Every structure is written in C-alpha cells, then in structure tokens.
Amino acid sequence: MGQVEIATPRDRSGTFDPELVGKRERVLNDELDRKILGLYGLGLSYADISTHIREIYGVETNDAVIDAVTNTVIEDLRAWQTRALEPVYPIVWMDAAFFKVKHQGAVNSRAVYTVLGVDEHGYKDVLGMYVAETEGARHWLGVLSDLQQRGVKDILMACTDNLKGFADAIETIFPRTDVRGCIVHQVRHTLRYVGYKDIPAVLADMKAIYKAKDEQAALEALDALAEKWETATPKWWRVGATTGRACPRSCATPNRSVAIYTTNIIEGYHAQLRKVTKTKRVFDGDQAVLKLLYLVQQRIAKEKWQKPLLNWRSIYLQLEILFKDRLTHFV
C-alpha cells in the first residue's frame, strides 16, 4: 500500500494506547514480516517467498516488498558486526568460504572470512564475517585488527588451514596466541609428495605423529617418518607436529580428540551456510551475502549453540594449567 499517515488520538494524561496500530509502529503486520524473514533465512528465493505468502495469507507480494522487508535486518547486521567482544577467547577457528557475487558489473567468487570462537564459558559464537576479493594473509590481518579494536585482547589457541603467512598475521596482532595448523590440511599437502601406492603406508606413519601422547613421542614419530619417507616430510611438518602436541588430547570436545587441531568445526559451520545458500546462484552484492549469512547464523546460534561444549569444565581446567594467568573467569 505504501506510506499511510495515521492521526493517533491522544488524551491529556497520555494514557491512551491504540491497539490496532501501536504507538511509534512503522510496520502494520510484524507477523508477516517475520514470516518473510524466516523464509528468506531458509534460503528461499523471492519468487518462492511470494508463493508461500500468497498460499498461506492470501496476500500478494513482489520483489520490491520482500527486498524492503529483508533490508530491515541491515541495521541489526551492522550492530552485530561492530558489537563488543569478550577480552579472551580460549579457542578460535578461522577459515573462508566462497560465494558467487555480482561486483562492479561482473560475477566473481568473493571470500567471506569467518571467525568462530569459544568463549570462557564454553559457548560457540561467530565473532565476525568479512567479505573480500580472495583469501590471503593480508586480508586476515585486517580481520584480526578489527577483532582487537572490538575488545579482544587475547586468543589462547587459533586453528587455521595453514594458509601461507596466516600464522605471521596472527602473531602480529596476538603475539601470545598458539597457532595450530589443521592436521587434515597438513596430511593432504604431504600426500602430494607421495606415490599413489605408498599413500596407505604414509598415512599410517603420519597418524603416529598427531596421535602421539606428548611432544617427545610426536618428535620421535616424526623422525621415523623422515627417515623412512624423505620426500614426504616438508619442513613445515615438524612445526605442525610439535605445536600440535602442546595441549593434551582430552583438551577438546568429547569423541573429537583433534577438535583443536583441525578446522572441521568451522568447515561444518560453512556446510550449514552452503545448505541454505545453494539456491542462490548469484548474490546481488556483498551486502546481500552478509544479510543472508547473518540470518542463517542467528538461527544456528538459537537452535544449536544454546549450551556450552560438553565436558567444558574439564577442558577449561586444563587450559588454566597450560595458559597460566591468561584466563579471566573460573568455570
């Protein structure tokens, strides 16, 4: 209908409260708007949303109406992007996902940087999402700077995908952070140096490294691997093997002994995003991507992240021993 001017009756004492259209209301049907946002957050196209609204409510909508309704979350999105963060995060996973976006008249793959952390109470939270042309250490440096400006003073452990220069970028902003390269990425990269027939044997020998009970056992397994498979042991394997053993294997979520040493958690989160965004072949700009991902993130947090990680108290006590005086709360 467009804009409608309403002269709200008033009484001298200001006690009158209209029921049909409440004071300071700007939307006539909040329920309908919530339905549109809910359908949009599930990944439905504008055409599908119009069809559902017509079938359920008998109301005709068009792309302009739906776009106006979905744009109401932009203010919430900006507030979420700039919200204050906790001073300390024990564990943080960082990775990027790619989406097709119209940018400057052309369709390109744009990288959405995601930072997923666990706070001191064991609750998962997406600390931020950022869009850039591609994934690189320079862009990650800007992301980490933003986290610092929003109140993050320390990150105990950060798990990454071994992107070149990533560890240096983290060390620049958070010099005390223990950077863990993803074991899965390390294994895949190592197998590039191995002949097809030798892959099963190399995999078995590598497992002895990242399943070792302590750093000394990991180093011994690494030396054995280097002696047996000289071509399959790049220098970065030694760094990954030793830093990955600083924390006990129990210092992770139950039944996931390598939760801290892989990016599986954030990749699982990205899989949930792609499940919703797969119907969107191309997004109309960076803001359109963030708008949908924000709605999906809010739904995931509400449905799946309302409880702390299992066995978090035990994990936290181990973190207290490993990272003395760097934690602020006692669980």
For 22-74, the pLDDT digits (tens) are: 666 655 567 788 888 888 888 888 888 888 888 887 778 888 888 888 888 89
Q: By percentage, how much of the chain surpasses pLDDT 70?
A: 82
Phi-psi region of 132 (alpha: psi -120 to 50; beta: other; left: phi over 0): beta
Is residue 102 helix, strand or coil?
Answer: strand
Query: What is residue 27's predicted lDDT score, i.e. its pLDDT?
Result: 54
Orientation angle between helical segments 63-70 and 30-41, nearest 10 degrees? 90
Spatial distance between the Cα atoms of 296 and 294, rounded to a whole number of angstroms: 5
pLDDT digit string, tens, across residues 268-303: 899 999 888 887 878 888 888 999 999 999 999 999
What does DSSP say about strands 124-132 and 154-160: parallel, antiparallel, or unpaired?
A: unpaired
Residue 185 has pLDDT above 80, yes or no: no
Please check whether the domain covering 85-181+263-331 is classified as CATH 3.30.420.10.
yes
Residue 101, number of CB atoms within 10 A of its CB = 23
The tally of CA atoms less than 13 A away on the side-chain side of residue 265 is 25
Q: What is the pLDDT of residues 220-277, one digit of tens each?
A: 877 787 777 766 555 545 544 444 444 444 444 433 444 566 677 888 899 999 888 8
Token duo for residue 156 = 């105990």
Q: Where are the domains of the chain?
A: 30-79, 85-181+263-331, 183-257
Q: What does the mean pLDDT of the chain come to?
A: 80
CA distances from 68 to 74, 98, 122, 296 (A): 10, 26, 37, 18
Report the predicted TM-score, pTM, of the whole model to 2 decimal places: 0.75
